[in-house]
Amino acid sequence: MPSTIEDLPAEAAALLSAAAVRDRCSIVLAAAERGEAPHFRLVGARLDEAVRRVVGITLRRYPDLDVPYHSRWRHFSIGGVDRAALVARGADAAETARARIDLAIVSVLLDAGAGSGWRFREAETGQVLSRSEGLAVASLRAMQAGLFSGDSGAPWRADAEALSQISSERLAGAFQHDAGNELLGIEERAALLRRAGEVCAASPGIFGSPARLGHLYDCWSRSGDELSAAEILRTLLLVFGPIWPGRNSLFGVALGDCGRHPAAPDNGFVPFHKLSQWLAYSLVEPLASAGLQVTELDGLTGLAEYRNGGLFIDCGVIEPRDPTLLQRRLDALSEPVVEWRALTVALLDRLASCVRDVLGKSAVEFPLARVLEGGSWAAGREIAAERRSGGDPPLTIVSDGTLF
């Protein structure tokens, strides 16, 4: 594995950044504005409706506009329970940061679409949770039980030894996957964790020895007390790029969450890095709690997933040229899905600017991470529940449990 992005072929390295995501998605949006996008029409006048919804739900959820950053940590407190306080209780700041990074990485890697029928019953509280919040709490409780640790006396860790040996049966038990309560892609999720354990073990310069995901804290803190969001994402894309199954590659370099679209130049690739950016957002708080300040957070982009993307379809900002697209099952790497996701990322930047204008906030006061949390993700879920029984997204994506 190359030790830095600079060791990669230049064309491949150029796609492994949030800047590349923003640039390529903007190119697809420009094609839609010219009426040249093959699968969706852009109806710009309807962006006002999406803005109205996002502003409204933001003010309902955070009337004082003290909006936290969009991250996995919001899901751990579902139902008013401060589960994050359980993590490595009593440990020093550095070990707490390691444990929280362990949890954030494993939880985000498992945070692909659960399916509308899956539920997790939390024994400790009696809460019955679904979708992303259910996956978050299930992953936290699994870590509490030591599922991801090779040391029976230290459950709050995710190390290479345990991850590389995790079975779909053990993961299924922790996530209450069973007949009638199926979690989509349980075998693929377990395989993803095993591959994460393998790349962790193969990179002692980053993950230490014995290898542990949380040793990223030690790796990053060696460079000082500041770290840019771009550097976090570069590291994540470099080390975790090989774990993603069946994805595109260029010159032998795994590109992770990256599709192809005819509007994109050169090789036609459009990167999204949705889970990797979701993870980067989710590492800000564990790092900050240990004194490592994350800078330039707005260098990251909006997330190309079905709640943000669903908001734009349901508000009519983008509409399919072929109405039957909404009734078909679509492969996650198919051209229509790539186009939809690219439009989502680019439109989120425009949405954020309009939301700030309405709220009277600057980009510094209300960065994209707050708009997403306030915000666009919740608005996408709310309008989906209004439009469809069960709150399903407007597009049906065939999920293997490792992308959305």
At 1 the pLDDT is 52
Spatial neighbors of 11 by CB under 8 A, at least 6 apart, are: 250, 251, 266, 267
Predicted local distance difference test score (pLDDT) of residue 246: 66
* Per-residue pLDDT tens digits for 39-63: 999 999 999 999 999 999 999 999 9
- Determine the structural domain holding residue 87 and report its residue range: 5-398
pLDDT the model gives residue 403: 63
Within a domain: residue 404? Answer: no
Report phi then psi at 269, rounded to 5. Answer: -80, 140
pLDDT tens string 231-241: 999 999 989 98
HSE (side-chain half, CA atoms, 13 Å) at 267: 16
Quick: pLDDT tens for 273-299.
998 999 999 999 999 999 999 999 999
pLDDT of residue 26 exceeding 60, the answer is: yes
Mean pLDDT of the chain: 93
Domain membership of residue 25 (yes or no) is: yes
Mean pLDDT value of segment 20-49: 97
**Is residue 398 scored above 90 in pLDDT?**
no
How confident is the model over 63-78, as pLDDT tens digits? 999 999 999 999 999 9
> Which tokens in the block code for residue 42?
């852009």
Number of H helices, E strands in the chain: 16, 12
Q: Which residues pair with 130 in a beta bridge?
A: 119
Higher-pLDDT residue of 98 and 3 is 98
168 found inside a domain: yes
Does 403 reside within a domain?
Answer: no
- The CA distance from 176 to 309, in Å, is 29
Query: Above 70 in pLDDT, residue 5?
Result: no
For residue 357, which amino acid is it? D
Is there a domain that residue 303 lies in? yes
pLDDT tens readout for residues 353-392: 999 999 999 999 999 999 999 999 999 999 999 999 889 8
Tens of pLDDT along 152-196?
Answer: 899 999 999 999 999 999 999 999 999 999 998 899 999 999 999
Does residue 315 sit within a domain?
A: yes
186-201 vs 229-240: helix axis angle to the nearest 10?
Answer: 100
Q: What is the pLDDT of residue 299?
A: 94
Number of domains in the chain: 1
Model-level pTM? 0.93
pLDDT of residue 3: 55
Question: Residue length, the chain?
Answer: 404
User: Is residue 129 a part of any domain in this protein?
Assistant: yes
The answer to whether the bond into 68 is cis (omega within 30° of 0) is: no
Q: What is the CA radius of gyration of the chain?
A: 20
Contact between residue 2 and residue 8 where contact means Cβ atoms under 8 Å apart: yes
Res. 113 pLDDT band, cuts 50 70 90: confident
- Residue 66 has which token pair? 């003290």
